[in-house]
Amino acid sequence: MTLRDLLGELPPDALVPAGWVLDRLPAEPTDATAPAATGALLTVGQMAGMMHRSPSTTRAWVERGEFPGAVKVGRGWLVPASAVTSFLERRRAASAPQIAPGPTLPSAPMPRAAPPRSRAGGAPGVDLGGWRRERSRKQ
């Protein structure tokens, strides 16, 4: 039963508590390994949603042969959920740190910003007004 089906059963002016809707929704898998128990076949779009990646990335993985048992059907792919589970386990094992992290070093203090320069653009206390006046007279 989808949320749309549940909402279709309600009168148009009904105020429904969220708990009522959640109690009637079927349980959803909480992690990426749950579909493997059912032996389901997943599309590239479903895999992308499960793995929080773009469909083009997951399609490239499938075309590269990362998922054994994947079958091309028409223009799309169907991938066994068990292959997705094993892929995720391999990725987790590969990304696990191989060595223990060392001690953290204190960060160096940030250098202070230079003091603001005078508006005239020269050194403090230097008046460039005379030079500018002389220059404007020659033009």
Please name the residue that has the structure tokens 């929704």: 25
Give domain status of residue 24, yes or no: yes
Position 23 scores a pLDDT of 72
Give domain status of residue 53, yes or no: yes
Q: Where would I find the beta strands (DSSP E) of the chain?
A: 41-43, 71-73, 76-80
Domain of 60, in residue numbers: 3-94
pLDDT at 138 over 90: no
Tell me the per-residue pLDDT of 6-23, one tens digit each, with 9 for 90 and over: 667 777 777 766 666 667
Cα–Cα distance measured from residue 102 to residue 116, given in angstroms and rounded to the nearest whole number: 41
Position 119 scores a pLDDT of 59
Give domain status of residue 79, yes or no: yes
126: left (phi over 0), alpha (psi -120 to 50) or beta: beta
Give domain status of residue 110, yes or no: no
Give domain status of residue 29, yes or no: yes
Give domain status of residue 122, yes or no: no
pLDDT at 124 over 70: no
Mean pLDDT of the chain: 76
Q: What is the pTM of this model?
A: 0.45
Which CATH number fits the domain that encloses residue 55?
1.10.1660
pLDDT band for 99, please (50, 70, 90 cuts). Answer: low
Position 111 scores a pLDDT of 77
Give domain status of residue 90, yes or no: yes
* Count of domains observed in the chain: 1
Give domain status of residue 42, yes or no: yes
